[in-house]
Structure 1
Amino acid sequence: MILVTGATGTIGSEVVRQLTARGEKVRALTRDPAKARVPSGVEVIRGDYLDPGSLEAAMSGVTAAFLVGVPGPDTRHDQDLVASARAAGVRRLVKLSAIATGDPAVGPSGTWHLAGEQAVQESGAQWTVLRPSSFASNTLSWAEAVGAGEPVPNLSGDGPQGVVDPRDVSEVAVRALLDGRYAGRTYTLTGPETISVPGQAAVLAAVLGRPVTTHDLSPEEAREHLRAWGLGEANAEGVLAGSAFVRKGGNAVVTEDVPEVLGRPARTYREWAEDHREAFAPA
C-alpha cells in the first residue's frame, strides 16, 4: 500500500493517477474525502496535518509514502508526517521539497523544507528528496487574465528558471516510491531550459495564436496580489524574497536529474502549454 499525502494537489493527484495506472494499491490522504476525485480503486482516507491521530491511522499498513507538507515557516507538519510514518514502520519515504532549499540567498522560504528533509533523512527508512523548480502549471493562475486579454502579473521580472512540467515531477516521485535504486538521493528537478515569465507568456501566445502580455508588479502590488491568494504575512514575505532571488538570476538552474531518472528528456514549457491550451480559452 502506497500513501499519497496532498492527494488532491498538483503533484499528489498526478502521483495517484500514475500509481493507479500501474496497478498499485493507493491510499489518498485528504482533509475532505467527500470532495476528492480519484481513480476507481483508490482508498480515500481523511487526514489533517493538525491531527496526529489521523496521520497515524493513514500510515497503518503502508509500505511507502509520498510526503507533501504545507510550505511555510511552521515546519511541524513535515515532522509530524515523518513521525507518524516512522511509528507505523513505513519503509520508504519520498519528500516533496523545493529548489534552492537551504540556500540563504533565497530568504525565508529557503528554510521551509529543511526540517522535513532532515526528518526523512533521519527516519531510518529509505528516503528520496525531490526539489522541483517552478511548475509550468503555475501559469494556470493566468487563465482568467489571458482569457480576458489582460496582462498577466509578473513578480520575478526577467529572471529565468528551469520551469518543470509537474507531470515529470510526479513520474519521478512514482519511480522513487516503487524502486529503492533512487533512495538516499536528493534530486533537483527542472525542465530542459531556463525561461522567464515574459518568455512563458511569449510561448503561450504562440501556442494560442493571440497576444499574452505581462505586467511587472510593484512591491505593493505584489503584496496585494499575494494577499488575494490568501497568503499570510510570513508566507507572503517568503514568496516576495524568493521572487527577488529569481529576478536576480538565482534560480537559473537546469539539471539532468529528470532525464537520469526517467530515461527521456524533460518536457519543455511549450509542451505543457500545448497540452493545456484549453485552460486559456477566451472568456
Structure 2
Amino acid sequence: MKPWGDTGPRIVVTGATGAVGRHLARRLGAGAQARLLVRDAEKAARLGLPDDAVVTGDYQDRSRLEEVLAGADAVFVVTANPLRPADDANILAAARARGVRRAVKLSWTAVADPDATDLIARWNRDSEALLHDSGLDWTVLRMRSPMSNTLAWASAIRKESVVRSFAGDAPTACVDPRDVAEAAARVLTEPGHESRTYALTGPEELTPREQTRQLADVLRRPLRFEELTAEQALTRWRERLPEPLAQALLEVAERRGGPGTGPGHDGEGDLEALLGHAPTPYRQWAADHAAHFC
C-alpha cells in the first residue's frame, strides 16, 4: 500500500468500483490523495483505476479497514448490501479508531419518504443514524436512482431493440453518477458541509417509457417498450439477487408506480448548488454511453 504524500487531503474511497465511486476516484486523482478500497482488483484494473491507489479489503475485516484508513483525513462511505448491516458500523468504527475526521455517506432519497418501509430504505436510515452517532464530522448525500441503472437494458436493446421494465409510467428524477461524484469530491475537499444532508436528483422526472424514447432518439432507431408484470419483474430480480433484496426492489417499484408518486421531490436544487452548474439530463447521459447499447 502506497504511503500518503505530503500535499492535499488524504481520502479513502470505499466502493471505488461502483457507479459513483469509479468517477470519484478519477476526480480525486487530480486534486487530492486517495486510497481506493475495492474487493476486486481485477475489476478496478478493467475500469482503469490507478494501480498505485487501489487497495483490496472487505468491510467485515476490521483490522484491514484500520490499516487502509490510517493517516486519512476523510472517508467516502459506500456500502451496497442491506443483508450485511454491520458494514457501515465497521467502516465508521475503523475510521474513528484511526483518527479520521470526516465521513461522507452515499445514501438514498427514499430515506426521507415516510411511506418507504422496504428493506433498502430501512437499511439506509439505519446507516445514516450510525453516521450521525459516529463522532465524526459527517455529510449525507442522498441520491435518486442513477441513470446507469438503464445499462441493464443494453443487452435486450442490442439483440431485440426492446426495453422491458416494470412500472413503465412511474416517474423518477434519475441522476448522472458523474454529477454525484463531482458533488462528493467537493464535499470531501471543501469546508462548510458538516452536518448537512443533500438530496441529489436529476433535472427532470422521467418514466422508463420516456427514457426508452430518448434512447431511441439518441441511437436513431426505433425501440419497443414492453411492460413487465410484477411477477415477471420479481422473477428477473430473483435470478441475480437473494430473495429479500428481490422483494425489496419490488416494493420500491410498486411504491414509485402508485398514486401520488408524480413529479416533485425534496431537495430540488441541492445538486445544482453543489456543482455550480445544471445537472446532466438523461438524453446527454445516453448520448455519452450510446456505445453500450449498440
* Class of the TM-score when normalised by the shorter of the 2 chains: over 0.9
Partners of 1:36 and 1:128 in 2: CA distance: 26
Partners of 2:232 and 2:49 in 1: CA distance: 40
Secondary structure of the residue that 1:174 maps to in structure 2? helix
Q: Which amino acid aligns with 2:41?
A: P
CA contact (8 A) 1:79 1:115 kept: no
How much identity, in percent, do the aligned residues show?
Answer: 39
Of 34, 58, 61 in structure 2, the residue corresponding to residue 48 of structure 1 is 58
Query: Do residues 270 (structure 1) and 278 (structure 2) align?
Result: no
Of 27, 30, 35 in structure 1, the residue corresponding to residue 38 of structure 2 is 30
Q: How does 1:1-283 map to 2 (within 5 A)?
A: 1-22=10-31, 24-37=32-45, 38-40=48-50, 42-108=52-118, 109-228=120-239, 230-248=240-258, 249-250=260-261, 252-254=263-265, 255-281=268-294
Q: Which amino acid aligns with 1:9?
A: G
- Runs (5+) with no aligned partner, structure 2: 1-9
Secondary structure of the residue that 2:245 maps to in structure 1? helix
Shift of 1:143: 0.7
Q: Which amino acid aligns with 1:209?
A: R
Partners of 2:41 and 2:190 in 1: CA distance: 29
Secondary structure of the residue that 2:284 maps to in structure 1? helix
Provide Cα deviations, 1:70-93, integer angstroms capped at 9, x if missing partner: 232442111111111111111111
Shift of 1:118: 1.2
CA contact (8 A) 2:17 2:43 kept: no
Partners of 2:43 and 2:80 in 1: CA distance: 19
Partners of 1:157 and 1:14 in 2: CA distance: 29
Partners of 1:42 and 1:198 in 2: CA distance: 43
CA gap of 1:263–1:34, structure 2 versus 1, over 3 A, is: same
Partners of 2:16 and 2:288 in 1: CA distance: 22
CA contact (8 A) 1:19 1:174 kept: yes
Partners of 1:244 and 1:48 in 2: CA distance: 33
CA contact (8 A) 1:27 1:44 kept: yes
CA contact (8 A) 2:22 2:49 kept: no
CA gap of 1:162–1:40, structure 2 versus 1, over 3 A, is: same
Provide Cα deviations, 1:161-206, integer angstroms capped at 9, x if missing partner: 0111110011111111101212211111111110000010000001
Shift of 1:107: 2.8
Task: Calculate the aligned-residue CA RMSD, in Å.
Answer: 1.6
Provide Cα deviations, 1:76-128, integer angstroms capped at 9, x if missing partner: 11111111111111111110101111534223122121121112212222211
Partners of 1:79 and 1:26 in 2: CA distance: 21
Structure 1 runs (4+) deviating above 6 angstroms are none
Q: Which amino acid aligns with 2:18?
A: G
Shift of 1:268: 0.4
- Runs (5+) with no aligned partner, structure 1: none
Alignment: residue pair count: 279
